[in-house]
Amino acid sequence: MRLAVRLAARLAAHPAMRRETLMAWLLLTLAIVTEVIATSALKLSDGLSHRGYTVVVVLGYVASYVALARALKLQLEVSLAYAIWSGVGTAAIAVIGAMFFHESVSVLKTVAIVLIIAGVAMLNLAPTPHTATGRVAVVTARPDAAVALVRALGDLTGAITELRAAEPSRAVRPHSVADAVPRVPTSG
């Protein structure tokens, strides 16, 4: 969430930012935040059996899709908007899962999150001066966007590193299901 808010703030500070463009980015940020809240509530809903959390899940996902649809209506490119929405949401949920739900953090997960964010950054940097209809696209390659994405990636990497450093050492986990099954001694 913090990543999306920081990115939107940096983009809003750009002098050439049009009001329509700013609104599209703010709506995308709202879509990300509400999706992350809804997904967190989904974990807490105990299979949608807890009424309060279930209401948060439904309202959060509806609000997220409405905000995403409005951002797209303002000519934000669907490929970029969806990549940012899903990528930032995925990274945020991974961090929230590790911090608040005590889910595992591994080098592989960390690398996967970094690759997701790198993919989003590459999509944002791809030059697309015009849409298929000939209109000037809302999003084009900008050096300030690249800097904002690199900083946000650094923030995420730092947060994951701090989380791993604070994590107590865990017992060795089995490598396969067969290793996890207790051995029953046989007499023979």
- Domain ranges for the chain: 2-166
Average pLDDT taken over every residue of the chain: 77
Task: Tell which residue, 57, 62, 64, has the closest CA to residue 82.
Answer: 64
pLDDT at 48 over 50: yes
CB 32 within 8 A of CB 93: no
Of 111, 120, 133, 49, the residue nearest 82 (C-alpha): 120
Between residues 138 and 83, the one the model is more confident about: 83
**What SS3 state is found at 130?**
strand
Tens digit of pLDDT for each residue in 102-136? 998 888 888 888 888 888 777 777 765 555 555 55
Tens digits of residue pLDDT in 50-77: 999 999 999 999 999 999 999 999 978 8
pLDDT score recorded for residue 35: 97
H or E element in which residue 71 lies: helix 51-73
- Residues above pLDDT 90, as percent of the chain: 30
Structural contact between residues 80 and 139, judged by C-beta atoms closer than 8 angstroms: yes
**Which comes out higher in pLDDT, residue 8 or 21?**
21
Where on the phi/psi map is residue 174: left (φ > 0), alpha (ψ -120 to 50), or beta?
beta
Contact 36, 42 (CB under 8 A): no
